[in-house]
Structure 1
Amino acid sequence: MRLYAIGDVHGRLDLLSGMHRTIAAEIEHDKPADWRIIHLGDYVDRGPDSKGVIDFLIAAQQRDARIIALAGNHDIGFRDFLAMPAADGLFARYGGRETALSYGVAIDFADPVSVEQGWKNLVSAVPSAQKQFLHDLPYSVSFGDFFFCHAGVRPGIPLERQSHDDLIWVRTIFHDHPGLYEKVIVHGHTPQVEAELLPNRVNVDTGAFQSGRLTALVVDGADKRILTETV
C-alpha cells in the first residue's frame, strides 16, 4: 500500500488542490496495488480559503474512501467556536478572522458585539455538511509501521491509549523524546523550513499558509520520499 501524508493546509486551497493533482498523476502512472491519502489536520485558519479547503476534502472523500482527513487543533478550535463563541479562544487568536471571511462573515474579535453577531452569522453560513465533517474527524490512523496524527504522541503511553488533546496539541515532550515508538509517528503541527525525517518521527508541516509550500511524505514499501507543492 502506498501512503501519502499531507501536512497542515491552513486555508491554502491552491496548494492542496495542486498536491492532489500531483498525487493523482503519480497513482495513474504507477498504478500501486492500493493507496491512501492521509491529511494530518489544520485545514482552517490563517490562509485565505478555509471554506474551500473543507469543501474540497468533503468532495474528495465522497469520491474515494481511501482519502482520509484527521483532526487538527485548529479544526477542533473552529468546531468549538461554532458551538460557543469565545473572543479569547484559539479560533479568535489564530486566524479565525480569515476563516470567517472565507464564509463571507466579518468578525472583530476585539468587539464583543461583533463577536456575538459574527458568531450567529458564521453558524448560519457554515453548511451542515461542513459541521458534520468537523464533528466526525478522527484523531489518528495507523497503517503498517506508521502512525498518523496531527501533533504527535506522549512517550510511554501505548498508541491506542493516546489522549485526543495530546494527538492535536503535544509538542516538546514528543519532539525531545530520543527513543523509538511502537511505530514511526507521522505528524504536522510544528512548522519547519523543511520536512523532518527522523528515526522515530516525520514532521511534514512546512507552514504552507505563510511559506507557500505544502509538503507530503510518501511511503511506498521501504521507500520514503518527500513531495512539495509550491506556488
Structure 2
Amino acid sequence: MHRSSARPSRSVNASTPADTRIYAVGDIHGRADLLTEIVERIDEDIMRRPIARAIEVYLGDYVDRGPHSRTVIDLLAVRLVANHAVCLRGNHEAVMEGFLQDPDILQYWLQLGGMQTLASYGVELHDGTETANEVHRRFLDAFPRTHELFMQCLRNQFRCGDFLFVHAGIRPDVPIEHQDANDLIWIRDAFLDSTRDHEQFIVHGHTPVPRPDIRSNRINIDTAAWRTGMLTCIAIEGSSILFL
C-alpha cells in the first residue's frame, strides 16, 4: 500500500542535528507484512525529500505474537547492513535471547507469544510431550547464523541530537549515562507517569497505545501492530515529528 503524502507534523521542544532526519518505527511483533510496507514508505520519502543524513531506528520487539518473526529479522538484518539501521533490543528479544541460553524459561517465553516465533522458524510444538531441552535443541538448530549476528548488533539505546531512543523508557531522576539496561527494555509506570524533563526527548514503544502518544517529554509509538494492523513510523527532522 502506498500513501501519496505524509500526515500532518507536530513540533516538540527538541531538535535533531542539522541536515539529519530520523525514521523511528514502533513494535513490529512478527508483522513482516507491515514492516515491508514501512520500509517502502521510508525509501519513497527519502527519494521525495532527499537529505544529507537519514537514520532508521527500530525500537525493538521484532518477535513474538505475530506470525512472521523470522522474516522480520531477515528484513531488519538487510536494513542494518545496507542502511546502517539502528536496531534496539526489546524485552521480547531479551526473552528470546534468554531461551537461546536457558531452556528452563520456555514456559515464560510461551506466555509472551514465543510459540508464534518458534513456529516461524519451523519449530512446531507437539502435544506437550517434548521437554524444554528438546525444544531448545530444535530452535538452536533452526536459528540461522545471520540471526545470531543480528542479535549481537542490538543496542539498548541510541542518542541523536536532543532525542533518546529506547524500547520501554528510562528511570526518572537517574542520569541517562547511569540508566540500567533492564529499565530501558522493561520499565512502564514509573516512566509513563513522569512529567519531568529527562534531559533528552524520549522516543519509545513497549506499552501499546491506540494512536501515537505525544507528551512534553516523550512520544510512544507502539500501536500494537500485531493486533491492530497499524505499525507506526515517524520522521523526525529539526523539531518536527511527521507521521508517515
Superposition TM-score, scaled by structure 2 size: 0.89
Question: Which residue, out of 54, 58, 62, partners 1:35?
Answer: 54
CA-CA distance at 1:136 after TM superposition: 2.9
Deviations 1:176-204 (A, max 9, x none): 11111101000000000000011101000
Task: Give the SS at the match of 1:88.
Answer: helix
Question: Which residue, out of 92, 103, 127, partners 2:110?
Answer: 92
**CA distance in 1 between partners of 2:184 and 2:141 (Å):** 30
Aligned to 2:86: 68
Q: Does the CA contact (< 8 Å) of 2:22 and 2:235 recur in 1?
A: yes
CA-CA distance at 1:88 after TM superposition: 3.0
Q: Name the aligned partner's letter for residue 136 of structure 2.
A: W
Q: Can you give the 5+ residue segments of structure 2 that lack an aligned partner in the other structure?
A: 1-19
Say whether residues 1:101 and 2:119 are aligned partners.
yes
Aligned to 2:222: 205
Q: Does the CA contact (< 8 Å) of 1:107 and 1:115 recur in 2?
A: no
CA-CA distance at 1:64 after TM superposition: 1.9
**CA distance in 2 between partners of 1:102 and 1:162 (Å):** 34
Say whether residues 1:7 and 2:35 are aligned partners.
no
Q: Name the aligned partner's letter for residue 238 of structure 2.
A: G
Alignment root-mean-square deviation, CA? 1.3
Deviations 1:91-138 (A, max 9, x none): 221111100000111125x83634322211111001012122213311
Aligned to 1:81: 99
CA-CA distance at 1:217 after TM superposition: 2.0
Superposition TM-score, scaled by structure 1 size: 0.93
**CA distance in 2 between partners of 1:114 and 1:56 (Å):** 31
Say whether residues 1:218 and 2:238 are aligned partners.
no
Question: Which residue, out of 184, 192, 215, partners 1:175?
Answer: 192
Deviations 1:128-171 (A, max 9, x none): 12122213311000000100000000001111111110000000
Q: Does the CA contact (< 8 Å) of 2:123 and 2:139 recur in 1?
A: yes
- Number of residue pairs matched by the alignment: 224
Task: Give the SS at the match of 2:231.
Answer: strand
CA-CA distance at 1:87 after TM superposition: 3.2
Q: Does the CA contact (< 8 Å) of 2:163 and 2:201 recur in 1?
A: yes
**CA distance in 1 between partners of 2:69 and 2:130 (Å):** 24
Q: Does the CA contact (< 8 Å) of 1:107 and 1:114 recur in 2?
A: no
Aligned to 1:24: 43
Q: Name the aligned partner's letter for residue 118 of structure 1.
A: V
Say whether residues 1:156 and 2:173 are aligned partners.
yes
Where relative contact order (Cα < 8 A, 6+ residues apart) is larger, the structure is: 2
